[in-house]
Amino acid sequence: MAFPQDIDALTKAFSGFGVDENAIIWILGKWYPEQRRSFRKGCSQFFWEDERLFERWDDNHIAFLEREFLRFKNAMVLWILHPWERDARMAKEALKNREYDILIEIACTRSSEELLGTRRAYHSLFDHSIEEDVAYSVHDNNRNLLVALVSSYRYEGPKVNEEIAKKEAKTLWEAFKNVNKNPIEDGEVVRIITTRSKLHLKSVFNHYKVVSGKNIEEDLEEDSSLKDAIQCLSSPKAYFSRILDIAMMGGADEKHKEALTRIIVTQADAYMKEIAEEYLQQYGVSLSQKIEETTKGNYKDFLLTLVSRGV
């Protein structure tokens, strides 16, 4: 008979982000067949009685465990890849799954040289340009914005023309208050968001607040590509903190869970210090503590190692 404390520990080891490999090895390694059978019979959340008189592991939970075991492996693979190849492969997968927020994240939070490198890697890996694949694959009103974003090579110098920034702030405001047209379909909106330097856009958004009396994000629909792009461009640390918090909420879906790996791995050498500071300020708990509470095993240890690099 398996001890109740072992069953409890094993159940916890099989739950959450990643699995607690040490707990699984320590418990299962010492169990005899009868103990393993009593575990199967006593864990209806994992197993059910087959008509042929054996305890059958639920298919959905097997798939769940396979994903959890893979989290550490996937994190390691992403970490080892050249950043250009990593972003190119993520972009390809994002297009396949219509996860446009990931494309926006790559296009808007990388430097111009990094994004150019991603385009080169994409071309080499897939024998297409990322621009043509986005244009071919996206069929809704996100197409023009996404093609322009992945094609962008922004000026990264210190110069900003304040008069132009004021005019463009007014252009955005007028487009956003036009109830007859989605701003993502406005060519001038797309031009401003996809071509101007991040420093210039910061000035545009400041002037927008003067013109409209609101922060620009308040005038955009939730979960819109345009809003994601603006937040990635204007405050990547706030964007990443928000996505990380969603990823670590109870009941997060698989898409959001995967964001935890993606963001920690891709930002460990970039914005991690700023992200950790923003996360603490916004949610009242350190990013490391939240990871400690919500993840398990080698996966948890690896994420904590990456977070500590920039903090």
Gap between the Cα atoms of 78 and 74, Å rounded: 6
CB 205 within 8 A of CB 80: no
User: Is residue 157 annotated as involved in ligand binding?
Assistant: no
Tokens representing 308?
A: 């500590």
**Other beta carbons within 10 Å of 202:** 16
CB 75 within 8 A of CB 303: yes
User: Is residue 14 annotated as involved in ligand binding?
Assistant: yes
User: Is residue 11 annotated as involved in ligand binding?
Assistant: no
Q: For tokens 């008189």, name the residue.
A: 53
The alpha helices in 81-126, defined as continuous H runs, are: 83-97, 100-109, 112-126
CB 215 within 8 A of CB 230: no
User: Is residue 187 annotated as involved in ligand binding?
Assistant: no
- CA 74 from chain centre, in angstroms, equals 14
CB 295 within 8 A of CB 109: no
Gap between the Cα atoms of 301 and 81, Å rounded: 20
User: Is residue 18 annotated as involved in ligand binding?
Assistant: yes
Bind-site residues for Ca(2+): 14, 16, 18, 251, 295
Bind-site residues: 14, 16, 18, 251, 295
